[in-house]
């Protein structure tokens, strides 16, 4: 949306007070995200001047457009996530004439994917870029509202992705983070076999100067030998896998309508660890899913002890109307969810700390993202931006460069170190 507006002559400004158009890209995934979206809209609406437009876009408005407008008086336009490319048209329409009621723009197109009007679908932060490879999801997870919001999966054509990756490479991007609701499903709708592996082959062959390629959101059951081989043999593909498992007890997984073959998980992770040197594995779990017994939760705790993931994220179950778990209700009390969440995170923190301590004395390549007060901040291959840890490096290292760092200290999430090749000067 920002790119389309800039092509139409708009500029990005720093503060809401400087803007003529205020756009909130809402999230409708779980309760806390919905709340944050509404609160942000309310705050902007309360301080809005008469010459400013306020547009609510994104997933929450796609699903609950009228409800959002009811809760936040003062919204001028409602644009869903499936037609973000219509933003310029919506702004023009709103500017044309006064509109006592919000303008709704929620066409029921199946999903986005092909009609993208030439914008680069990457969000760039420093020298890292999130590159979208597909949008929407066709999996049946019972707790998840995303298929209701986004529709089924639409993969972006390989050539479009390569073109964007090339552009990003030319702009100096060092790290590409491939995202989709389920990256392992990439290309299925295009009739591709092993689409993600095929895409990775093309990316590493045809965009050779990207240093790091990171794969997020791999659905269990679809990490196959071809993907493992590509990850093991192509240097640019980081030995990092984010595989959201959601639970470890087969009955809980069955109620979630997720793959419940835990043996597959054990075998696949063992195979990956044997083939991919220094593999870092990240996962996420839901605690307090309807019907989760203490025994099921204990199975999950034993599982994290056994697998020893590098990184674990956890969510407390959020009841989402309209999903197929609606009929199960939300019977696990909030305090039980909270207590299980804490227990799980504490256990994982101890595991993460032990794993991190194993890096002390070793060298890691670190992508530097900033510095101040004589300390530089960066990430190693083990750290996806925002969700994983950081490496704090002594001295002012060059931003955007990947530098070797000798690790000298470990915390539960972060590492500390010194430049391995002294001295780095600016
Ligand atoms: S794979 Fe992910 S996005 Fe798709 S339905 Fe399951 S949880 Fe939702």
Label residues 50-74 b or e (16+ Cβ within 10 Å = b).
Answer: eebbbbbbbbbbbbbbeebbeebee
Measured by CA distance, the residue closest to atom 6 of ligand 1 is 141
Average pLDDT for residues 368-389, to the nearest whole number? 96
Residue 249 CB–ligand 1 contact under 6 Å: no
CA distance 165 to 180: 15
Residue 292 CB–ligand 1 contact under 6 Å: no
What is the per-residue pLDDT for 96? Answer: 93
Tell me the CA–centroid distance for residue 146 and ligand 1, in Å: 7
SS3 198: helix
Q: Which residues sit opposite 308 in a β-bridge? A: none
Cα three-residue angle 369-372-377, rounded to 5 degrees: 30
Nearest to 88 by CA among 205, 5, 14: 5
What is the per-residue pLDDT for 97? Answer: 86
Residue 181 CB–ligand 1 contact under 6 Å: yes
Residue 146 CB–ligand 1 contact under 6 Å: yes
The pTM score is 0.92
CA distance 336 to 332: 7
Residue 139 CB–ligand 1 contact under 6 Å: yes
pLDDT in tens, 313-350: 999 999 999 999 999 999 999 999 999 999 999 999 99
3-class secondary structure per residue, 52-83: CEEEEEEHHHHHHHHHHHHHCCCCCEEECHHH
CA distance 353 to 308: 11
Residue 280 Ramachandran class (φ > 0 left, ψ -120 to 50 alpha, else beta): beta
Measured by CA distance, the residue closest to atom 8 of ligand 1 is 144
3-class secondary structure per residue, 145-194: CHHHHHCCCEECCHHHHHHHHHHHHHCCCCEEEEECCCHHHCCHHHCCCC
Orientation angle between helical segments 294-307 and 262-275, nearest 10 degrees: 10
Tell me the CA–centroid distance for residue 15 and ligand 1, in Å: 34
Residue 141 CB–ligand 1 contact under 6 Å: yes
What is the number of other CB atoms lying within 10 angstroms of the CB of residue 48? 18
Q: What single DSSP character describes residue 246?
A: B
What is the per-residue pLDDT for 125? Answer: 86
Tell me the CA–centroid distance for residue 71 and ligand 1, in Å: 28
pLDDT in tens, 213-225: 999 999 998 999 9
Confidence of residue 107 (pLDDT cuts 50, 70, 90): confident
Terminal-to-terminal C-alpha distance of the chain: 36
Tell me the CA–centroid distance for residue 223 and ligand 1, in Å: 15
The H or E element spanning position 415 is: strand 415-419
Tokens of 385: 């931006």
Summary count for the chain: helices (H), strands (E): 12, 18
pLDDT in tens, 188-211: 999 999 999 999 999 999 999 999
CA distance 404 to 272: 25
Confidence of residue 393 (pLDDT cuts 50, 70, 90): very high
pLDDT in tens, 112-123: 556 677 788 888
Main-chain phi, psi angles of 142, to 5 degrees: -70, -25
SS3 359: coil
Residues with Cβ within 8 Å of 78's Cβ and at least 6 positions away in sequence, in order, are 55, 56, 57, 61, 65, 66, 68, 69, 102, 103, 104, 105, 106
Residue 147 CB–ligand 1 contact under 6 Å: yes
**CB of 53 closer than 8 Å to CB of 76:** yes
CA distance 111 to 91: 21
Residue 165 CB–ligand 1 contact under 6 Å: no
Range in 41-45, 293-297, 377-381, 396-400 with the lowest mean pLDDT: 396-400
Write down the mean pLDDT value for the chain.
94
SS3 383: coil
Would you list the DSSP string of 31-55? HHHHHHHHHHHHHHHHT--TT-EEE
What is the number of other CB atoms lying within 10 angstroms of the CB of residue 161? 24
pLDDT in tens, 56-74: 999 999 999 999 999 999 9
Confidence of residue 426 (pLDDT cuts 50, 70, 90): very low
pLDDT in tens, 137-151: 999 999 999 999 988
CA distance 351 to 280: 13
What is the per-residue pLDDT for 187? Answer: 97
């Amino acid at each position: 949306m920002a790119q389309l507006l800039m092509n139409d002559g708009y500029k990005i400004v720093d503060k809401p007070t400087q803007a003529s158009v205020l756009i909130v890209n809402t999230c409708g995934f779980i309760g806390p995200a919905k709340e944050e979206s509404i609160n942000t809209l309310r705050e902007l609406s309360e301080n809005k001047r008469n010459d400013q437009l306020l547009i609510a876009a994104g997933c929450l408005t796609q699903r609950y457009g009228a409800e959002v407008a009811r809760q936040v008086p003062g919204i001028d336009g409602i644009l869903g996530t499936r037609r973000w490319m219509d933003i310029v048209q919506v702004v023009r329409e709103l500017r044309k004439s006064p509109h006592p009621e919000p303008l709704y723009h929620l066409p029921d197109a199946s999903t986005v994917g092909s009609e993208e009007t030439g914008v680069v679908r990457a969000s760039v932060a420093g020298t890292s870029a999130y590159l979208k490879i597909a949008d929407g999801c066709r999996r049946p997870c019972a707790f998840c509202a995303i298929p209701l919001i986004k529709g089924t999966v639409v993969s972006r054509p390989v050539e479009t992705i390569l073109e964007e990756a090339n552009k990003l490479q030319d702009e100096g991007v060092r790290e590409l983070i491939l995202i989709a609701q389920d990256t392992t499903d990439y290309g299925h709708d295009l009739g591709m076999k092993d689409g993600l592996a095929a895409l990775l082959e093309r990316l590493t062959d045809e965009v050779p100067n990207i240093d790091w390629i990171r794969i997020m959101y791999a659905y269990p059951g679809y990490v196959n030998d071809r993907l493992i081989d590509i990850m093991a043999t192509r240097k640019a593909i980081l030995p990092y896998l984010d595989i959201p498992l959601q639970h470890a007890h087969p009955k809980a997984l069955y109620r979630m309508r997720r793959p419940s073959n835990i043996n597959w998980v054990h075998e696949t992770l063992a195979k990956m660890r044997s083939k991919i040197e220094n593999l870092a594995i990240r996962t996420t779990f839901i605690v307090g899913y309807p019907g989760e017994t203490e025994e099921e939760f204990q199975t999950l705790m034993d599982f994290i002890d056994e697998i020893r993931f590098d990184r674990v994220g956890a969510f407390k179950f959020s009841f989402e109307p309209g999903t197929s778990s609606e009929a199960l209700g939300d019977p696990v009390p909030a305090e039980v969810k909270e207590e299980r969440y804490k227990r799980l995170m504490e256990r994982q923190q101890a595991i993460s700390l032990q794993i991190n301590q194993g890096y002390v004395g070793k060298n890691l390549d670190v992508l530097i993202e900033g510095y101040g007060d004589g300390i530089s901040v960066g990430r190693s291959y083990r750290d996806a931006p925002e969700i994983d840890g950081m490496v704090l490096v002594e001295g002012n290292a060059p931003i955007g460069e990947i530098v070797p760092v000798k690790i000298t200290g470990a915390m539960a999430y972060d590492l500390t170190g010194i430049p391995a090749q002294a001295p780095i000067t600016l």
